[in-house]
Amino acid sequence: MQTGQTRSDRRAATAARILEAAQLEFGTHGEDGTTIRGIARRAGVDPSLVLQHYGSKQALFSLAVRPAADLTGEGVPAHLAEVLGARLREIPPATRALMRSMLTSPEAAAVMREYLQERVTNLAGAMAGDDAELRAAVMVSSILGITIARHFLDLSPFADLEDEQVTTLVDAWLAPLA
């Protein structure tokens, strides 16, 4: 036990360790392949603590796959460049878990659909024209497809991308928006 930590602090730290372990496990094995025991082992806790903190594997999955805080940027092109650049580089464990499970888990599909719809709505609100929502949906869906091709299908043109190549690709893709 660390000196100066309250019981509440230790409990919060344990919960955070479990959540981080769950993100990594779900990201590696998907929802079906992840077990409470595997999460507990990775977090260095007893499996009963996982359930004590989160109630069930489903409840923990729902929290673990929530996307990280939104990326920000100045205007639509800057924001999209930041998002696309991030998706071409690495993706956080929570995003990996959600994407790995979204086609086999109704819960993961609902979380992803809600997240993507929010992205579409926000992007469309920053765009002009009657078809802004449709154009925003195409942009968001394109980024999702690129993320899947890069991180799950290992599409060869995306292998070993250098930062300079990512920047050039993103700039070219978003040039019409500038």
pLDDT value for 45: 92
Same domain, 60 and 88: no
Q: How many domains does the chain have?
A: 2
Look at residue 107 and tell me if it is in a domain.
yes
Q: Which residue range(s) make up the domain with 11?
A: 7-64
* Same domain as 119, residue 43: no
Domain CATH number, residue 57 = 1.10.10.60
**Is 124 found in the same domain as 37?**
no
DSSP the chain: --TT--HHHHHHHHHHHHHHHHHHHHHHHHHHH--HHHHHHHHTS-HHHHHHHHSSHHHHHHHHTSPPSPP--SHHHHHHHHHHHHHHS---HHHHHHHHHTTT-HHHHHHHHHHHHHHHHHHHHTS-STTHHHHHHHHHHHHHHHHHHHHTS--GGGTT--HHHHHHHHHHHHGGG-
pTM score, whole prediction: 0.58
pLDDT tens digits along 115-158? 888 888 878 877 778 998 998 898 888 888 888 888 888 888 87
Residues 59, 85: one domain?
A: no
Is residue 69 in some structural domain? no
pLDDT of residue 71: 31
Residues 165 and 81 in one domain: yes
Q: How sure is the predictor about 42, in pLDDT bands with cuts at 50, 70 and 90?
A: very high
Same domain, 33 and 117: no
